[in-house]
Amino acid sequence: MATTKNIWGRFDDDYDTFILNKFGGLNTNRNSTDIEDNQAQDLLNVIFTKELEKRGGFTPLNSTEISGSSGIYGLFPYYYNNGANRKLMYVSHTTCGEMNAGTGATTVLKTGLTTNLRTRAITFHDLFIYTNGTDAVQKIDEATAAVLGGSPPIAKYIALHKNYVFLAGNSTYPSRLYWCNLDTPETWTSTDFIDINPDDGSVITGLQRTLDTLVISKEHNIYVLYGDTPTYTEGLELWRIKEASTETGSAGQGSMSRWGKSVIYLSQGQGFQMFGGNVSTDETSVDSLTSYLMSKDITPTVSALNESRLYQAESAIFDYKYLCAVPYANSTTNNYCLVYDFVVSGWTVWNIPASCFCVYRSSGVDYLYFGDPDDGYVYRYTPTTYSDNGTAINAYYQTKDTNLGLSANDKIFRKFYVTVNKSEDYNLTVTPEVDFGEVSVDASTISSKSSDSLWGTMVWGTDRWGATTTSTSGKNIMNARGKFINFKFSNSTLNETFKVRDLVQYFKVRGSR
């Protein structure tokens, strides 16, 4: 946001202006007058591109609900035969199966699993290997389901690192890390395990690989496994496990996602953390690795989550964003999605309910799928359609309460202009709020029409000549007086978006000439 004098010159020369042309993330951690100029005091269902936009919607992939389902408990890509074959795998109720990523047709491959258990999975040597903490570790070899060979321990968590399959989260030994023989996922030696500080009052909560290391999360700390091999081998470095310099750990493996050299996770009681940044095999570097708080700006929002259910948070990295589905307030299922945008380094909130995520690649394009927490449906995120399975998306963005740097002075807010991208048809509601709502100001509706005007039908000040992708500016008279002002952009119409480029407010300091 910037304050200038006579920005365009073609309007009132005796009015100052301020410009809002950069939109950033949510800040609920400070008063609405103290947040950064480009932050929002409130928002829902928006994304940040070169413009402020409504997020896309979602559509069901399968037209028929999975039989007996009360939610999707796992969703994974399964690529085998050097990627020539691709399947979208799901776990629901007591079954594991495949779903056609185009038609949504399902094929059940395994029955008899314990009902409704969250599942983790990897692919290794063309085997789809999955585990839920209660049943024996399972495998699917293309289309044939069986118990994984070698009698691996029952475990909640699984990871692939250095051509070893790692397991953790055994109910009898909750701090124990197990691994298979090198390159042989169905050969397990009973002595191949290590206990990760079992007396620290904390249990393993997740595994995640990053670069050349395996990150082992416990409830209140993180350990890093680095090196090449568990046994002495000429020319290779022995495994070592070091405790990192952090007092937080992930609430569950579902929230752990890798971004670059770091791992992001939702901790128990200390918000979203980013661990690492430059993982090294040097002991001194590992000792100094720590986490930093990513969610400081939304601390009250994170504190409002259902703390007893944080273990069921699920995340994914998609389109330069970290998405984490969480149970908000008293919900026992994931009813909200907190989204960190790496481009603007800020948070937004989507009301998408997701029990799990899957980024699935088809023909070189990544698609985002997610499971319903209550029913047997899988959904695909659709960035360019604006309907949540037939329901309108309520999207809004409310700016900072700004005094324009003149806190002691009343201002006369004369008028404002909003520039929008008119590549699509929609109506944008803009609601000014002066002095925290104490001064009444009418909302304005700005219409965007993607089609060009016909000769003789142009409405001056509304229509624009030229290509359909050009922007249009709406003029809105206010004539309000006060010290503070914010603007709320909103649209809750089915199959409509909005795309805001900037806002220009004309004002005069009361008593100035």
Distance, in Å, from the CA atom of 282 to the CA atom of 288, rounded to the nearest integer, reads 10
Question: What torsion, rounded to 10 degrees, do the Cα atoms 155, 156, 161, 165 define?
Answer: 30
CA–CA gap between residue 402 and residue 206 (Å, rounded):
43
What is the spatial distance between Cα 322 and Cα 263, in angstroms, rounded to a whole number?
11
Q: What percent of the chain has pLDDT over 70?
A: 90
Poorest-pLDDT segment among 45-54, 157-166, 324-333, 403-412: 403-412
Fold classification of 2-56+396-509 (topology level) = Jelly Rolls (2.60.120)
- Give the largest CA-CA distance in the chain: 86
Q: What is the pLDDT of residue 454?
A: 47
C-beta of residue 394 within 8 angstroms of C-beta of residue 73: no
Mean pLDDT for 480-489 is 95
Which stretch of 12-21, 278-287, 335-344, 364-373 has the lowest confidence by average pLDDT? 278-287
Burial class of residue 201 (count of CB atoms within 10 Å of its CB; 0-12, 13-18, 19+): exposed
- Domain residue spans in the chain? 2-56+396-509
Computed over every residue of the chain, the mean pLDDT equals 91
Digit-coded pLDDT (tens) for 141-174 = 999 999 999 999 999 999 999 999 999 999 999 9
pLDDT tens by residue, 83-119: 899 999 999 999 999 999 999 999 999 999 999 999 9
Determine the pLDDT at residue 287. 64
pLDDT of residue 281 exceeding 50: no
How many Å apart are CA 360 and CA 299, to the nearest integer? 32
pLDDT band at 3 (very low <50, low <70, confident <90, very high): very low
Evaluate if residue 280 carries a pLDDT over 50.
no
